[in-house]
Amino acid sequence: MTDRRNMRQAAALKYDAAKRRAPVLTASGKGLTAEAIIKRARDNGVPIQQDPALVGLLSELEVNEMIPADLYEAVAEVFAFIYQADKQAGK
């Protein structure tokens, strides 16, 4: 039996300011689905940030749903992390 408290969760976000006013949840899952999301991110050179509390909140959204305003600050921190990681990698 799997211990649900230790089950891995993952969420993926996309932000295109020209198309939407807020980032969109592009993938979300637990267990094997989470592992697949993380693997795909790694395979594509996408930086990964671990924030279990934020992933828990994002998992309540539907895929392709814009994040709500109350998550803007937390998600902005994720995008700042990605920006810095890309900058350090010379992207």
Instruction: Please tell me whether the overall predicted TM-score, pTM, comes out greater than 0.85 for this model.
Output: no
Share of the chain above pLDDT 70, in %: 92
What pLDDT digit, counting tens, does each position of 31-65 carry? Answer: 999 999 999 999 998 889 899 999 999 999 999 99
Query: What is the token pair recorded at 68?
Result: 């709500």
Distance CA 16, CA 67 (A): 13
Indicate if the pLDDT at residue 10 is higher than 90: yes
> Residue with structure tokens 């979300």?
28
Query: What is the token pair recorded at 88?
Result: 């350090």
Region 73-84 average pLDDT: 89
Q: Kindly state the DSSP code that residue 66 receives in the 8-state scheme.
A: B
All domains of the chain in start order, with CATH: 4-88 (3.40.1690.10)
Residue 1 pLDDT: 44
CB atoms within 10 A of CB 25: 21
